[in-house]
Structure 1
């Protein structure tokens, strides 16, 4: 029998998704379904039809649409977002139907009325990368647009998409609304973001040094409770982007921006820094510093002092001294520490081992370097499976973390690392005590906020847990992937299974424990197809998976009913006990 020929064609695919669909349905299912139906009839369907689009698939929380023209697809997406915003302007923010939209151009497989293939998957991933109320398009789509339409988008650079082998170059609609969690603390403090200082040394290998200087300035500013300081990972997401300073300030939701550069030549270094009013682009202050390398920490202190003084005026001397704490007096140790951080934050198979070597080398040069002790403690348990590390490794990590705190009791990062070691030792009460101490020392450490929220969820304090996690995401609107693990775990315990699955799907290179959590989410949500797909993926990664082994080794939970909740989800999916 002759093999049936697969029909393919080039198509523009638009994927849409409703932001917070599960929350809206939980709050009022009848009202939500009615609102979606009205918007579909009066705005969505007419706009798609007017531009020659065809709705391929409608889901409860989104749709898949195909167009013949990239120009028509983008024009439709922009029109949809503008009309949806105008139509719902009188509604409370929590009652509005908000879309994310992703658009891709690719060769697709025709299967009856359905579309299949990687091009469709990429469109869905682009949608997930869009901001609420925003549009994310692939570079191949952007190239099809005319000059006016092109200028409506900001370069998002190459990003990694889940289950897509190659990075995809993306563009974001620049008129997307700013969507922030409603936090009273955000209104009470002046907000600031420090953009990555540009490395002008001519050697890409020195980027780690300029990044380290930037993070130190962020850390110094973050010690002041009167300032709301955006986390480094969010600020750094705008590296090498074409977005203007006004647009960066708008997207980060800050009042002020700091930018600068570092030029290193031989034994000399020049640091230039500017303070900018984000809304107007006005330069409020600028300065440069030429120093010998031995003076690098004095330069860092001086830059931090001038920025803070410009923003908040007179600062009590005790707070100023705290902000100007030096991480170490040894430049060689500091460089090794920075290199260790680069490896610790990466996902390569050898990165944890290399990070460990860097932190150990830093301590050989400066045995009193508190943060190096703290990060070495974390790296040691990371090398051995975190909470599954042997008892002697966990004991050694605890000793290192305690040493770090004793060397610098005022450094919030040391307190946070000690708390994290206690979490992995399943000493939850001690962990909470040190996370609260870390927060007292530095309320702007988004990592501490999210980790604290994750711990509180494990302890059954669910309402408080979500407050901490949401505040962490507010301070760090472009967070590292591990934030999604804390959020997903908390949402699962709350019974918000679809949202938990969406969060966990953000994690890159998921291992067996993440795959198992996804299986439990889908099973509890009653999504049979997704459950089966996730189950197959889990058994492919871990053929000898055991539910009881996962409960014993894969979960750091305090309450028996939470363990049972995961057990129910896994057994419901048909996984072996």
Structure 2
């Protein structure tokens, strides 16, 4: 016997989940097909099946009225899968399914059509266990139960039923697996009919094993021929639907045996291919020219699942999602939702239609990442959000050094499937992906994971990772972008603006020297130019970033703020609203739409934006901060004080105290206003405090000369708060002052 044949016959222990649809034979042909489709969909959505398949530890065997899932990893995998299936079936009471699980020896064989298959005692006993159950039951063999009982988690689920004699005198020891909302706690009806025996050896009498096997095989062949003759017309019509447009062929009458083989092969292949390809990410769907794909105008990329088996690899899966979202955003013809909004659905149990509705997306991209050493495998699927229909799926495999080349292939394939064109500039970028140092990539992705926490510590941790990344590979442009992003974000809150913007400029310029096509680098450099009051150059840089990445929510948001400060409020409102469209679940983007409304005097609309932001994140201090400002504008200083007090219970930013001090002063509480100035001066000895805080309070107290003193310090520190000089009506009492006018001229505001 050849070595290959020996390998195929070598026994291995597998953990088999066998299931069927109860009452399947009583269903009409159409109903049978629909029931199997429903069951297939439930199975392919289970995490246990997806994860096992991703690492090559699952084989699916269709059985006509159900299927067998053969797991070769842990004994817990089929049980986890059964729990997920049982949970899903509670929402579909019209689909009665029973499940049996057993661990035992199996071996690989080839069927009559030379396709890989699995056979052995493990399969047979799993089916016998299942046969003992009724609808809803999850029955496991005693062997499986004993293994599960070693872990405290499973012990409450296990309920012994005893030994039962099944077909051909075989005795199985049964355990019913159920909990409050899982499985079927009622004893199977079969237990009352079949002899229950003690757990001991049983002697079998009657036909020899060989004779029984021949008898069974003959019976199966006869039954198959009868079924073929009865159901052949219906089945052949069903299988032939896809060929209705083919030229007519000369009919030939198949013999009963060849017809049986045809039906058996076609049906088996159809079910096996559909289910297995779904799980492996290789499912071939309808052509991309279908109506579903040509109407896709908006996409969201959900966080890819980590199939590496290590929780510490989550950063890698999240990072792949992030870089894919960024590159997809470069497609001008489609709206791509922000990674930050999509992150809200990490590990979500919401349905695709629900997610699509919340993100306002026509289609969803989801997938999984397996990072094993230097090899990366990514499965990607495109799903119609409204119907949860899979439109396209593909598997990509690359060395980690070619991760950006793989990302670009995914982008090109998705663009092709949804029938949109990429710009010549993006096409050139996609075809020229650079290789990356794996260690530098790891540090960069860890930095982005920290960045996405959106906390002060998260930002600080991110900088450490970005710095390590560029030290490992000084030519890795994205690492320099990360450093620039940090200093732009940290300016005026964590780091002195002068120091922060100088470091941001150097990092952004280095990133652009390495890769001029990075929208993030253009935006970072534009932000630095803004801090130097180079308004025109800053806007050109942001426009360049948006040309490279039309769906870059942060750039639309930043551009909106720049337009606010130069007084182009209608354009600012449109840009800030576009940022919300791209990042619909961001409370910050939602909140900031209030600013043009306030400056236009539409306080009700401004307040409505604050309320929307609070709905998205009730723990955020900024909506209360903005409500305080709105109430200052309304002249309701007592209400403003109340809002600032609430903000201070959430966050201790000095700027809150600055506005609170102004409200105290305007409310006639001058002592409290002066106390606030003293507190800010003390705080400034320990951390950066923008002089704008003291300027506001002196302004509220009517001490205009001191207010201008502190505004000049704000300018000298390059604090972004000085940008408000042109549009903030609070400064109207100072506009006739020569010192204020001189300061205003330094700001280089456009007319």
TM-score by length of 2: 0.46
Largest Rg, 1 or 2: 2
The offset of 1:520, in angstroms, is: 2.8
Q: Which residue in the other structure is 1:496 paired with?
A: 602
Distance (whole Å) between structure 2 residues aligned to residue 344 and residue 379 of structure 1: 9
- 5+ residue gaps, structure 1, are 1-186, 569-577
Instruction: Give secondary structure in 2 for the equivalent of 1:379.
Output: helix
Distance 1:275 1:205, change over 3 A: same
Going from structure 1 to structure 2, the CA distance change for 1:342 and 1:451 (only over 3 Å counts) comes to: same
Residue 314 and residue 547 in structure 1: after superposition, are their counterparts in 2 closer, same or farther (change >3 A)? closer
**Aligned residue number for residue 280 of structure 1:** 387
- Asked if the contact 2:304/2:321 (under 8 Å) is kept, the reply is yes
Aligned to 2:730: 565
Map Cα deviations across residues 390-440 of structure 1 (whole Å, 9 max, x no partner).
534422321221222232222211111112222334433322111111112
Match of 2:569 in 1: 462
Question: Paired residue for 1:339, among 435, 442, 446?
Answer: 446
Q: Whole-Å Cα distance in 1 between the matches of residues 516 and 402 of structure 2?
A: 25
Partner of 2:414: 307
Q: Is the 8 A contact 2:405 2:434 kept in 1?
A: no
1:402 corresponding residue in structure 2: 509
1:292 positional shift: 3.7
Moved more, 455-464 or 261-270: 261-270
Displacement of 1:471 in angstroms is 1.3
Q: 1:400 to 1:275 in 2, by over 3 A?
A: same
Aligned residue in 2 for 1:520: 629
Comparing 482-491 with 405-414, which one deviates more in the overlay?
A: 482-491
C-alpha change, 1:341 and 1:504, in structure 2 (3 Å) is: farther
Match of 1:259 in 2: 366
Return the offset for 1:293: 3.2
2:333 is aligned, of 199, 203, 226, to 226
CA distance in 2, matches of 1:514, 1:276: 35
Q: Distance in 1 between matches of 2:522 and 2:418?
A: 28
Partners of 2:423 and 2:608 lie apart in 1 by 45
CA distance in 2, matches of 1:424, 1:482: 21
Contact 1:200 / 1:263 at 8 angstroms: preserved in 2?
yes
Q: Structure 1 residue 331: deviation in Å?
A: 2.0
Q: Relative to structure 2, which stretch is displaced further, 439-448 or 496-505? A: 496-505
Helix, strand or coil for the counterpart of 2:593?
A: helix
Q: Distance in 1 between matches of 2:396 and 2:295?
A: 33
Q: CA separation of 1:526/1:241 partners in 2, compared to 1, >3 Å: closer, same or farther?
A: same
Cα drift, residue 322 of structure 1: 2.5
**SS across alignment from 1:226:** coil
CA distance in 2, matches of 1:494, 1:222: 32
- Residues 249, 257 of structure 1: 8 Å contact kept: yes
Correspondence 1:107-146 to 2 at 5 A: none
Please give the alpha-carbon distance, in whole angstroms, between the structure 1 residues aligned to 2:636 and 2:373.
Answer: 61
1:194–1:235 contact (8 Å) kept in structure 2: yes
Show the counterpart of 1:534: 643
2:485, 2:504 within 8 Å by CA — same for their partners in 1? yes
What SS does the aligned partner of 1:223 have? coil
The answer to whether the 8 Å contact 1:454/1:490 transfers is no
> Separation in 2 of the partners of 1:482 and 1:398?
25
Q: 1:366 aligns with which of 460, 473, 494?
A: 473
The Cα shift of 1:250 comes to 3.0
How big is each residue's C-alpha offset from its partner over 1:38-71, in whole Å with a ceiling of 9 and x where there is no partner? Answer: xxxxxxxxxxxxxxxxxxxxxxxxxxxxxxxxxx
User: Does 2:721 correspond to 1:556?
Assistant: yes
Separation in structure 2 between the aligned mates of residue 245 and residue 517 of structure 1, nearest angstrom = 34
Pairwise mapping of residues 154-165 of structure 1 onto structure 2 (< 5 A)?
none
d(CA) in 2 for partners of 1:448, 1:427: 17
CA apart distance, 1:561: 4.5
For residues 102-149 of structure 1, the C-alpha deviation after alignment (integer angstroms, 9 at most, x for no partner) is xxxxxxxxxxxxxxxxxxxxxxxxxxxxxxxxxxxxxxxxxxxxxxxx
Alignment RMSD, CA only?
A: 3.3
> d(CA) in 2 for partners of 1:461 and 1:387?
30
> Structure 2 matches for 1:142-221, cutoff 5 A?
190-221=297-328
Q: 1:197 to 1:564 in 2, by over 3 A?
A: same
CA distance in 2, matches of 1:189, 1:490: 32
Q: Provide, for residues 138-173 of structure 1, a one-character-per-residue CA deviation record: whole Å limited to 9, x for no partner.
A: xxxxxxxxxxxxxxxxxxxxxxxxxxxxxxxxxxxx
* Alpha-carbon distance between aligned partners in 2 of 1:381 and 1:534, rounded to the nearest angstrom: 28
Evaluate the alpha carbon distance shift between residue 388 and residue 264 of structure 1 in structure 2; reply closer, same or farther with a 3 A threshold: closer
The residue correspondences of 1:22-171 to structure 2 (distance < 5 A) are: none
Structure 2 equivalent of residue 289 of structure 1: 396
More moved, 492-501 vs 409-418: 492-501
Which sections of structure 2, spanning at least 5 residues, go unmatched? Answer: 1-293, 658-675, 681-692, 698-709, 734-751
In structure 2, C-alpha distance between the alignment counterparts of 1:504 and 1:372, rounded to whole Å: 35
1:352 is aligned to 2:459: yes
- Aligned partner of 1:245 in structure 2 is 352
Deviation digits for residues 493-538 of structure 1 (CA, Å, limit 9, x no counterpart)? 2223354455457487777x98765433212224454223135457
Offset at 1:317?
Answer: 6.0
| Equivalence for 1:320 | 427
CA contact (8 A) 2:492 2:720 kept: no
Contact 1:488 1:500 in 2 (8 A): yes
Contact 2:318 2:449 in 1 (8 A): no
- Asked whether the 8 Å contact 1:260–1:272 carries over to 2, the reply is yes
TM-score if structure 1 supplies the norm length?
A: 0.59
Structure 1: how far apart are the matches of 2:422 and 2:720? 45
Go from structure 1 to structure 2 and tell me whether the alpha carbon gap of 1:567 and 1:378 turns closer, same or farther (over 3 Å shift): farther
C-alpha offsets along residues 189-235 of structure 1, whole Å, 9 cap, x if unaligned? Answer: 72222111111122222111111111222222221211211111222
Question: Greater shift after overlay, 272-281 or 481-490?
Answer: 481-490
> Shift of the alpha carbon at 1:251?
3.0
Q: 1:248 to 1:566 in 2, by over 3 A?
A: farther
Counterparts in 2 of 1:384 and 1:233: CA distance versus 1, 3 Å: closer
Verify: 1:486 aligned to 2:592, yes or no.
yes
CA deviation profile, 1:55-97 (whole Å, cap 9, x unmatched): xxxxxxxxxxxxxxxxxxxxxxxxxxxxxxxxxxxxxxxxxxx
Q: 2:237 matched to which residue of 1? A: none
Preserved CA contact (<8 Å) 1:223 1:322: no
Q: Aligned partners of 1:420, 1:364: CA distance in 2, in Å?
A: 25
